[in-house]
């Protein structure tokens, strides 16, 4: 053992930031996640609004919409700008993940990795809705639908970006690839876009915003905060962990905690 080994300071443990806010809510998303979601949402909406009339260009509604935008050139330019915007958001997210995991040593990104419990949750929810079991399965930070939402992006983005790049620069692409890649890219781009649209509208928006407790809009992703009662209902496993870590309260005691007591516990 060298002198440097003896004098070197021990590695600092990861800092757990408080997640219970002063208004008694639980902080679920940080500012970077909020910005990334807004960027992804904005670019996706623009891509849909400009991509559908390009795909269904012969429809009367598409021709009216194209004329409203100022012509097909404006539509295509906006579509490409939105595509680059989405690409930038993806790069931002990857850098954010690397810093969060490798530098800040925070564990929450790891919890979005699919595991066996997600399959149990899926079949547990089906059994609950069919009346076979009395209680819904307990969920940690992310449920199986949220994980599917997240990883579907990593599945779809390479297809969309790769095919979109070929369609944006067909002459350059065919200098290195055979000519049939251009029509193939068009089919892949079109079909993957429709699949993403159907999932976002039919599943993501439905479960995120049409729930009776949040309808007509779930504001958590915009404010970053969720009511404690809602958090306890939707993510009970993480809720218990937060209560025990920040307030020193065991899971059985987390049912009804007055806001005043939360503040007293934090100050102590």
* Residue 128 forms part of a structural domain: no
Residue 66 scores a pLDDT above 70: yes
pLDDT in tens, 125-138: 999 989 999 888 99
User: Mind listing the pLDDT tens digit for each residue in 211-250?
Assistant: 777 788 888 989 999 988 889 988 999 899 888 877 766 6
Q: Average pLDDT, whole number, for the chain?
A: 84
Supply 72's token pair: 């097909």
- For residue 247, tell me if it sits in a domain: no
The DSSP-derived string for 86-118 is: HHHHHHHHHHHHHIIIIIS--SGGGGGS--HHH
Say if 237 falls within a structural domain. no
Give the mean pLDDT of 153-167: 90
Instruction: Collect all residues with Cβ–Cβ distance below 8 Å to 200 and sequence separation of at least 6.
Output: 44
Q: Is 225 domain-assigned?
A: no
Helix or strand holding residue 27 (H, E):
strand 26-27
pLDDT at position 1 over 80: no
CA gap 175, 171 in Å, rounded? 7
Number of domains into which the chain is organized: 1
pLDDT band at 123 (very low <50, low <70, confident <90, very high): very high
Tell me, what's the pLDDT at 215? 81
> 43-57, 193-207, 249-263: which has the highest mean pLDDT?
43-57
Residue range of the domain that includes 69: 26-106
Q: Does residue 69 lie within any of the structural domains?
A: yes
Q: Is the pLDDT of residue 7 over 80?
A: no
Query: Looking at the domain assignment, is residue 217 inside a domain?
Result: no
- 20, with CB counted inside 10 A (0-12, 13-18, 19+), is buried
Q: Model confidence over 35-48: pLDDT tens digits?
A: 999 999 999 999 99
Q: Which of 52-56, 168-172, 176-180, 246-250 is predicted least confidently? A: 246-250
CA dihedral 16, 22, 25, 27 (to 10 degrees): -30
User: How does residue 267 score in pLDDT terms, banded at 50, 70 and 90?
Assistant: very low
- Asked, for residue 39, whether it belongs to a domain, the answer is yes
Is the Cβ–Cβ distance between 198 and 100 less than 8 Å? no
Tell me whether residue 102 is in a domain.
Answer: yes
The secondary structure of 159-203 as a DSSP string is: HHHHHHHHHHSHHHHHHHS-TTHHHHHHHHHHHHHHHHHHHIIII
- Scan for tokens 């009511």, then name that residue: 227
């Amino acid at each position: 053992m060298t002198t440097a080994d003896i004098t070197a300071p021990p590695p600092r443990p990861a800092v757990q930031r408080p997640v219970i806010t002063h208004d008694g809510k639980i902080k679920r998303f940080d500012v970077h996640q909020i910005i990334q979601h807004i960027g992804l949402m904005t670019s996706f909406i623009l891509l849909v609004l400009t991509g559908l009339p390009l795909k269904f260009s012969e429809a009367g509604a598409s021709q009216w919409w194209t004329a409203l935008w100022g012509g097909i050139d404006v539509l295509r330019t906006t579509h490409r700008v939105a595509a680059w915007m989405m690409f930038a958001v993806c790069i931002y997210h990857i850098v954010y993940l690397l810093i969060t995991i490798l530098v800040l040593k925070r564990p929450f990104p790891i919890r979005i990795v699919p595991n066996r419990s997600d399959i149990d949750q899926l079949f547990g929810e089906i059994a609950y809705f069919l009346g076979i079991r009395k209680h819904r399965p307990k969920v940690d930070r992310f449920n199986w639908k949220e994980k599917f939402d997240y990883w579907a992006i990593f599945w779809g983005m390479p297809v969309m970006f790769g095919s979109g790049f070929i369609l944006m620069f067909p002459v350059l692409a065919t200098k290195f690839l055979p000519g049939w890649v251009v029509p193939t890219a068009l089919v892949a781009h079109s079909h993957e876009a429709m699949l993403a649209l159907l999932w976002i509208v039919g599943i993501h928006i439905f479960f995120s915003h049409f729930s009776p407790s949040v309808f007509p809009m779930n504001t958590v992703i915009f404010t970053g905060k969720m009511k404690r009662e809602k958090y306890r209902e939707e993510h009970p496993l993480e809720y218990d962990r937060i209560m025990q870590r920040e307030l020193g309260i065991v899971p059985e005691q987390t049912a009804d905690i007055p806001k005043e007591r939360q503040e007293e516990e934090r100050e102590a």
